[in-house]
Chain A
Amino acid sequence: MSEGLTWTVYDANTMTQAEIYGEVLCKLGELDDKIVGLSADLANSTKIGKFGKKFPDRFFNVGIAEQNLFGVASGLAKSGLTPFVSTMAVFTAMRAAEQVRTDICYQNLNVKIIATHAGASFGQAGTTHHCTEDLAIMRSFANMTVIVPADGIEMALCVRECVERPGPVYIRIGRGFEPTYYEDEDYGFKIGKAVTIKDGTDITLICCGITVLQAAEAAKILEENDGLSVRVLNMHTIKPLDEIAVMKAVLETRRIVTFEEHNILGGLGSAVAEVIAKSGKGCAFETVGIPDCFCVVGYPEDLYTHYGLDTDGVVSKVRDVMKIEFEEDEDWEDEV
């Protein structure tokens, strides 16, 4: 991290992830005049508008035109600037997918995308605004870094760190009313490195975004009621995935449950499954996420409960996975 970034996000508890992003970007803008901001008639909703008010000359609202938005960002990056672009996740990952892929990722351009209202966080808006596919899409674009911060504190940390990281970055957040998990910034956040929230030996819960808080609570319940030793990993970076942390979980706990606000196909669960499959080791595995369907309508809390994306949902999935019997391979004992 560059010198001078010593301030802290003091009121993470009262600010939404998006608001914190707006604040952090303003601070970064003071330190680096190459940073520019872009939005598509969602400057206020995504909070990049804070940057726009502070640096009107360095902010471009292109109107409701997402394909143009990412094309313009590509051009700005090619001219030597560092664009931060914000619109809703669904319009980033789907409406403008080709611009993001070909105009930004292919050329490995320095465009930082902060996509809001992801997952089911705008559940009442209906299918046109639900976004449970973006991790699968973004993960399949070469050169792209994909991050799902756990809360506002982690948001601040990843926005700061992504400036130092060359190439395109996709940071995915919700609508902003999610509770925070972290109390301070000193837990060793690093892009591409899982954070061990809690160590354990019986099973590993791998989570990202809003599920980190739920998983930590589930681990407590499982420890107290079931006597299980649950490892919890905050896998904030979906790509590049911390394969070493996954491999350690395979070898040391032999049971893994992934937990994400995304279609169970293609996101964190799939990324982890790829590592397990490559390992050649036996590992009981399950995913908690939105099933492969279009979500129903409703406020996000109701949808999370409906799809088991809460503490109860993950607790019961862990209990199921603990019941799975599988053959231990020969060197099992050596490794555990």
Chain B
Amino acid sequence: MALSEKRIQELKQIAKGIRKDIIDITGWAGGAHIGGGMSMVDIMVLLYWELAKVDPKNPDWEDRDRVILSKGHAGVGYAPVLARKGYFQFELLKNFNKFMSPFGMHLDGCKVKGVDVSTGSLGHGLPIGVGLALGARLQKKPWITYCILGDGECNEGSVWEAAMAASHFKLTNLISFVDRNRLMIDGGTEEVMALEPFADKWRAFGFHVIECDGHDFAALDNAIGQARAHTAGPCLIMANTVKGKGVDFMEGDVKWHYGGLSTDLVAKAKESVDRM
């Protein structure tokens, strides 16, 4: 069933809250991957508040859906989602990056509740996702595996090795997203190492590709609905996003891939989110 207008408004408020959390954590941490954290917020909010079958009170529940943040550097955007869902106290994130903290820049499944896979080295998530999806099928488990990839990350050969396997094994219980914000570290994706025709590449690898606006809840929800209904093989949602989304002075600026925020900038950034 499509999302109601009321629910969409609620999700938007939640997403605004998460964006402000990301700003706070970046301030506390002294620096974080804020640009790519902001661009994926709406995907993560929809997953955790609407779609993924998970239970924060029972994080190891065997039949839970699995979520893999393959673009693991965006941990600063994942941690507040898990905290606000109740996996752990938000206050603990004041310790992000700090000595002996469970929260390094890249979230670690051995240390943080709710994190299924430790990521941070790019190109590892989708192969692990293929394994989780194959494992579910073999053992007749109901879980769906969701995998969130960076667009720059798709330079890695291992992503395409996994893509080939996902379609070879006809994995319909694996739903992947590309956070298509068009930026990496050294510049735009098309300048550094061109990906286009990007959706066609995924199609050539046997994926059903659904393109949508990655900041529009209705569009994202519709895309995921289509993906779940698709029974011929794996699906990829190409979510068009803006790096730094919500903070006017960061949006689309490669400089904000990674950065720190002074108290002044924290305030300015939050004001910008308020105006969203």
Chain A interface (Cβ within 8 Å of chain B)? 39-45, 49, 61-65, 67-68, 90-91, 95, 124-129, 296-299, 302-303, 306
Partner of A126, one of B98, B104, B155: B104
Within 8 Å CB of A39, what residues of B?
Answer: 186
Chain B interface (Cβ within 8 Å of chain A)? 29-30, 72, 97-106, 108, 118-123, 152-153, 155-157, 184-186, 192-193
In the complex, besides A95-B121, A302-B99, 8 extra interface pairs with C-beta distance below 8 angstroms are A65-B157, A65-B193, A90-B121, A124-B97, A127-B104, A128-B119, A297-B101, A303-B99
A42 to B155, CA, bound (A): 13
A61 to B72, CA, bound (A): 22
User: What is the CB-to-nearest-CB distance from B60 to chain A, in angstroms, rounded to a whole number?
Assistant: 21
Pair B155/A64 contact, Cβ less than 8 Å: yes
Pair A65/B98 contact, Cβ less than 8 Å: no
Pair A128/B193 contact, Cβ less than 8 Å: no
Within 8 Å CB of A124, what residues of B?
Answer: 29-30, 97-98, 104-105
User: What is the CB-to-nearest-CB distance from A229 to chain B, in angstroms, rounded to a whole number?
Assistant: 36
Most buried by A among B105, B185, B186: B186
What are 9 A-B contacts with C-beta separation under 8 Å? A43-B186, A64-B156, A68-B157, A129-B120, A297-B98, A297-B99, A298-B97, A299-B98, A302-B98
Pair A126/B156 contact, Cβ less than 8 Å: no
- B contacts with A: majority SS: loop
Q: A42-B185, A63-B193, A64-B155 known; A126 and B108 CB under 8 Å? A: yes
Closest to A126 in B: B104
User: What is the CB-to-nearest-CB distance from B77 to chain A, in angstroms, rounded to a whole number?
Assistant: 15
A62 to B193, CA, bound (A): 6
A44 to B186, CA, bound (A): 7
User: What is the CB-to-nearest-CB distance from B62 to chain A, in angstroms, rounded to a whole number?
Assistant: 26
Within 8 Å CB of B119, what residues of A?
Answer: 128
Pair B152/A128 contact, Cβ less than 8 Å: no
Pair B185/A298 contact, Cβ less than 8 Å: no
Within 8 Å CB of B72, what residues of A?
Answer: 128
Pair B106/A129 contact, Cβ less than 8 Å: yes
Within 8 Å CB of A68, what residues of B?
Answer: 157
User: What is the CB-to-nearest-CB distance from B166 to chain A, in angstroms, rounded to a whole number?
Assistant: 20
A62 to B186, CA, bound (A): 11
Within 8 Å CB of A40, what residues of B?
Answer: 155
Within 8 Å CB of A43, what residues of B?
Answer: 186
Partner of A91, one of B97, B108, B121, B155: B121
Closest to B102 in A: A297
A65 to B123, CA, bound (A): 9
Closest to B124 in A: A128
Within 8 Å CB of B29, what residues of A?
Answer: 124
Closest to B29 in A: A124
Pair A41/B192 contact, Cβ less than 8 Å: yes
Q: A43-B186, A64-B184 known; A298 and B99 CB under 8 Å? A: yes
Pair B155/A65 contact, Cβ less than 8 Å: yes
Within 8 Å CB of B185, what residues of A?
Answer: 41-42, 44-45
Pair B99/A126 contact, Cβ less than 8 Å: no
Within 8 Å CB of B30, what residues of A?
Answer: 124
A91 to B156, CA, bound (A): 12
Q: A41-B152, A61-B193, A302-B99 known; A125 and B104 CB under 8 Å? A: yes
A326 to B97, CA, bound (A): 45
Closest to A95 in B: B121
Within 8 Å CB of A44, what residues of B?
Answer: 185-186
Pair B155/A125 contact, Cβ less than 8 Å: no
Pair A126/B106 contact, Cβ less than 8 Å: yes
Within 8 Å CB of B100, what residues of A?
Answer: 296-298, 306
Within 8 Å CB of A49, what residues of B?
Answer: 186
User: What is the CB-to-nearest-CB distance from A75 to chain B, in angstroms, rounded to a whole number?
Assistant: 16
A91 to B158, CA, bound (A): 13
A168 to B1, CA, bound (A): 60
Pair A298/B101 contact, Cβ less than 8 Å: yes
Closest to A49 in B: B186
A85 to B66, CA, bound (A): 37
Closest to B107 in A: A126
Within 8 Å CB of A302, what residues of B?
Answer: 98-99
Pair B121/A65 contact, Cβ less than 8 Å: no
Partner of B153, one of A64, A296, A298: A64
Within 8 Å CB of A45, what residues of B?
Answer: 185
Pair A64/B123 contact, Cβ less than 8 Å: yes
Most buried by B among A95, A302, A306: A95
User: What is the CB-to-nearest-CB distance from A137 to chain B, in angstroms, rounded to a whole number?
Assistant: 15
Closest to A62 in B: B193
Within 8 Å CB of A41, what residues of B?
Answer: 152, 155, 184-186, 192-193
User: What is the CB-to-nearest-CB distance from B53 to chain A, in angstroms, rounded to a whole number?
Assistant: 28
